[in-house]
Structures are given as C-alpha cells and as structure tokens.
Amino acid sequence: MRRSYNIPLSGLEARITGVLLCVVGALQAAEPADAIWSARYLITEDAQHRVIENGAVAVKDGRILAVGTRTQINARYTPKQRLDRPEAILAPGLINTHTHAAMSLFRGIADDLRLQDWLEKFIFPAEAKNVTADFVRWGTRLGCLEMLLGGTTTFTDMYYFEDVVAEASKEAGMRGVLGETIIGFPVADNKTPADALVYTERFLQRFAGDPLIVAAVAPHALYTNSDETLKACRALANKHKAPLIIHLSETKKENDDELAKRHTTPTKTLDTLGVWNGRSIAAHAVWVGEADMAILKQRGVGIGHCPSSNMKLASGVAPVTRMLELDLPVGLGPDGPAGSNNDFNLFEEMDLAAKLAKVTTGNPQALPASAALEMATIRGARALGMEKEIGSLEPGKRADMIMVRIDRPNAQPLYDAVSQMVYALKASDVRDVMVDGKPVVRDAKILTLNEAQILAKAAEYRARISASLR
Ligand SMILES: [Zn+2]
C-alpha cells in the first residue's frame, strides 16, 4: 500500500503510521495458501471455458482456493510455496476414463492383431503365466510413472490384484477409479466370479472414503460374464454407492453374438438386466446405435472413448460426434498398453479423437479442439461422476493440475492455448503436476516413485515374460 500525505508527520507519528500501514498491508495480503501456481495461460475448463492470460491458482489443504489473474491472486494470498512459469500453460490434470495400468509390462508383446486373436492367443496365456501381485505392483508403478509424467492425474482401471493397484496408485500420489476385473473364467487372484465379488466387497470396504481412490465394481463385459454375475455386480456397487466399470460393444462381433443369442444389443441387454441402474462407466461403446445411445443418455452412463485402441485393433469408430450432440458424458482413455495402444498418452488421445471424428464424418468441425480438451478434463470427470471434485480449475475443487511448457519449437508461436494443447503439445511437454494439492512431478521429474528402479524391474520382467512364452 502506498499513500502520499500532505501533512508532514513527526518522526514518532511517521513510525506509528508506518507500522499501521504494514499491519493493514499484511492483513490484506495475509490469507494463507499452501501454494500458488501461475503461468502464461490458465485454461480453467469452467462453465464459461475461460482462458486467463497470466493466470494463477491458489491451493490450500488439497483444494483450490481461488483462480484469477496472477495480480489478483498475489494480492490476496501468501503461499508457503510458489511456482511461476511464464512459458507454460496451466491446465486441469488430464483424466483417463479407461485403462489397464499393470499391462504396461506386456507393452508391445503382440501387435497388429484383432482383439479376439490378441486376447486369446497372447494376452490370456501371458497373463495366466505371469500375473502375480508383484507383477501388478511393478506394472502399475510403471503405468503411474508414465501417466503422471504425461499429465494424467486420474486414471480409471480394471485389472487383477486391484488392491495392489490401489496401493501403487496411492504411493504414486495419483487419483484412481479402480475395480477388480470380474470375469467368467479362473484368473490369477480369483478362481470364480463369486470369489471376485467377495474380493471386490473387501476392496470397497478397505478404500471407502480414501482421498485418492474411488473403489469400483468391474465386470469385464457382457460376453465374459453370466447374467447372474452382472446383476450381482450392480447390487454390490449400489450397496456401497460405488461406480460400475464395464467394456461395452467394443467390437462388431460382440454385437453380432448378442444379436444371434438374444436378438438385441449389448446395451439393451445390460439395461434389461438392470446393470445401468446406478453410476456406470462403459468403455469403448463403438458399436452403439441411436436406441443404445438413448438408453445410455437416460441412464447417465459415462463413456470411455478409446480412439487409439479402436484404431489399432480395427475395432471401429465410436459415434462420438453424435454422443456429444446428445451431451453424453464421454471421456477419453488409452485402454491397454500391451497391444491395443501401446501407451498412456492422453495428449495423443485428444489429438486422435478430434482427427478420427473429422476423417470419418468428412467434417473438420465434427470434434473441435475445445471438445477434445473438454473430454480429457471436465467431460471425463462427468463420465466418472466426479465433476464436482475434479476436471476443472475452480474454487472448491481438488487441486489436480498440470504445467505444460510452451517454450519448445512445437509450441511456438501460440495463437490459441486450447488448440495448442490438443494439436501441438505432447505428453513430454508436461513439466509439473499436482494431485490433491501435492506436487508429484517437478520439472519433468517424478517426486513420488523411484524411476530407475521401476525401469530396471520392467527390463527384468521383459526377460521373464519372454521366457514364459517360449
Ligand atoms: Zn479395456
């Protein structure tokens, strides 16, 4: 505070006035914050989709206190720590709505195959021989490492030993919506779907109220589970107010089989079974028609669109443009790293979602950059039923945010920060990441995990897995 006085003050008066001014100044700038992060552009993904030049976010106790210009935020808050990046975009942490993190240890094990061949000839046998709690722990650590370094702050996962997935996610400081895969044949940790349901209930109880983990119920798919198991999954999810995660109409074969068996679609069958009666997240939804989308809309089903996976496995093209017209909560997912993608790069998924929609509709406006970024952030949060907590940078929300550098050749010049995020920036441009108010990546280095040890373990597993398949 600066003021000029016309009346000359005595020495004592001047000292007293000076002290008072300091106290007033300190009071005005004294609201404490744990951290302030500021950047050249702040993408909020709030209801107005504001992009604030020279923007800043103040954080306290894991939540966002305020969002505004750097000048406004600096005037009001005194942070314990601050990070100013005049050559970066500050954006909400990216949200992965469908993946299998631990499969990172199978990365590239068998490429260029159709889903059924890839699953039945390679993945299921490789899993039968190799998946243990230790495998899942190291695979999830590797997955979380790649995801955090690439700006993903929340992931939605279904695999085996999911309690270990949750432990590894918490260790990484990453947010997870996690469910133990329930499937109609014996797997590494559960011999029957009934065993998997018992496991899941313990899992739901163990992680109830956890600040980072949302425990879910995850029947693999309609075609790999009995009707009774699917109904039991829904009942268990509703008993614990948990979401249900499932693969839906990923391939044409899944739909053809259901048509032959029950003369209807997987979406309709699952509706008839009551599976959509509660919070649900359906991955893929490639082969869904108007009647199916009407059901998904009516039931509020979140959708995990996986463009890389659908392209790589030649599964088809999900009608995402139509889903957006219907305002369905559709997010993005990289799916599996083992052959259906093979990475966890949400920058790539944004880019591909936009371009795949354009090339298949013949309309360059079918899925604009703004819609792609929305799918990776606030619309993805809606898909998970977590839009009140994450997905945008707004006061009261959990402080999940990323700094993306814009001082490299692929980022300059910059006319539109949102366009740059989707079409020009890369996961490798992510410089800093905060989850739940805690920095987990600083200057492109992970703070929570032992990177060298994880990479050494990945090499060790590669040798072991290769030998097991000979
Ligand atoms: Zn999947």
In angstroms, how far apart are the furthest CA atoms of the chain? 97
How many whole angstroms from 369 Cα to the centroid of ligand 1? 25
pLDDT, average across residues 4-10: 39
How many whole angstroms from 71 Cα to the centroid of ligand 1? 45
Write down the pLDDT at residue 57: 98
Write down the pLDDT at residue 4: 35
How many whole angstroms from 283 Cα to the centroid of ligand 1? 7
How many whole angstroms from 161 Cα to the centroid of ligand 1? 16
Answer whether residue 1 shows pLDDT above 60. no
Write down the pLDDT at residue 17: 46
How many whole angstroms from 251 Cα to the centroid of ligand 1? 12
Answer whether residue 27 shows pLDDT above 80. no
Mean pLDDT for all residues in the chain = 93
Instruction: Look at the alpha carbons of 169, 171, 172, 175 in this order and tell me if their dihedral is positive or negative.
Output: positive
pLDDT, average across residues 204-216: 98
Cα angle value 97/346/431 (rounded, 5°)? 125
Question: Are the C-beta atoms of 320 and 357 separated by less than 8 Å?
Answer: yes
List, as ranges, residues with CB under 5 A of the ion ligand 1. 335
Write down the pLDDT at residue 6: 38
Residue 115's pLDDT band, with cuts at 50, 70 and 90, is confident
CA nearest to 81, candidates 57, 103, 101, 105: 57
pLDDT, average across residues 38-55: 98
CA nearest to 382, candidates 305, 275, 294: 305
pLDDT digits (tens, 9 = 90+) for 428-438: 999 999 999 99
Question: Are the C-beta atoms of 222 and 235 separated by less than 8 Å?
Answer: no
Write down the pLDDT at residue 405: 98
The tally of CA atoms less than 13 A away on the side-chain side of residue 130 is: 28
pLDDT, average across residues 289-304: 98
Answer whether residue 23 shows pLDDT above 80. no
How many whole angstroms from 309 Cα to the centroid of ligand 1? 9
Rounded to whole angstroms, how far apart are CA atoms 81 and 204?
35
Helices (H), 29-111: 70-76
How many whole angstroms from 323 Cα to the centroid of ligand 1? 20
Rounded to whole angstroms, how far apart are CA atoms 71 and 77?
10
Question: Are the C-beta atoms of 78 and 32 separated by less than 8 Å?
Answer: yes
pTM: 0.93
Rounded to whole angstroms, how far apart are CA atoms 59 and 57?
6
Write down the pLDDT at residue 15: 53
Q: At 468, which amino acid appears?
A: S
How many whole angstroms from 287 Cα to the centroid of ligand 1? 15
How many whole angstroms from 435 Cα to the centroid of ligand 1? 24
How many whole angstroms from 336 Cα to the centroid of ligand 1? 6
Write down the pLDDT at residue 470: 81
- In the DSSP assignment, the letter for residue 403 is E
Write down the pLDDT at residue 28: 55
Residue whose structure tokens are 């005595």: 10
How many whole angstroms from 247 Cα to the centroid of ligand 1? 6
Residue with the bigger pLDDT between 419 and 338: it is 419
How many whole angstroms from 367 Cα to the centroid of ligand 1? 23
The residues pairing with 214 across neighbouring beta strands, listed in sequence order, are 177
**Rg, C-alpha atoms of the chain:** 24
Residue whose structure tokens are 């942070």: 79
Rounded to whole angstroms, how far apart are CA atoms 71 and 373?
27
How many whole angstroms from 355 Cα to the centroid of ligand 1? 21
Write down the pLDDT at residue 269: 98
Write down the pLDDT at residue 411: 98
Rounded to whole angstroms, how far apart are CA atoms 251 and 91?
34
pLDDT digits (tens, 9 = 90+) for 368-393: 999 999 999 999 999 999 999 999 99
Write down the pLDDT at residue 423: 98
